[in-house]
Amino acid sequence: MDNKVHNVFVSCHHTYSDQDYRNKIEKLFVDYHAVMVSKSAQIGDIDAGLSAETIRQKICEEYLRDSTVTIALN
């Protein structure tokens, strides 16, 4: 079995139940299986008062850049 660790960005809405699913994914694959490094933004990392375009830009530059896998919850 390949034990490669992947840098993973999980895209989700923090205000919806997606956050619970993201937490479960991270617990399972980071804490339990140790096959993933979370590259996701955590609650409070990005000022919610910023424009949507600025938030997208920050996510691309600061989080997605280093990820090798992206999971989108919607």
> In Å, how far are 2, 18, 43, 55 from 12, measured between CA atoms?
27, 6, 11, 13
What is the C-alpha to C-alpha distance for residues 13 and 15, in angstroms, rounded to an integer?
5
The tens digit of pLDDT for each residue in 36-53 reads 999 999 889 999 899 999
The tens digit of pLDDT for each residue in 2-49 reads 678 999 999 988 766 788 899 999 999 999 899 999 999 988 999 989
What is the C-alpha to C-alpha distance for residues 32 and 26, in angstroms, rounded to an integer?
9
Which two structure tokens, joined as six digits, stand for 31?
């804490």
Q: Within a domain: residue 38?
A: yes
Q: Within a domain: residue 43?
A: yes
Domain of residue 21 covers: 6-72
How many domains, in total, are found in the chain?
Answer: 1
- HSE-up (13 A, CA, CB side) for residue 2: 4
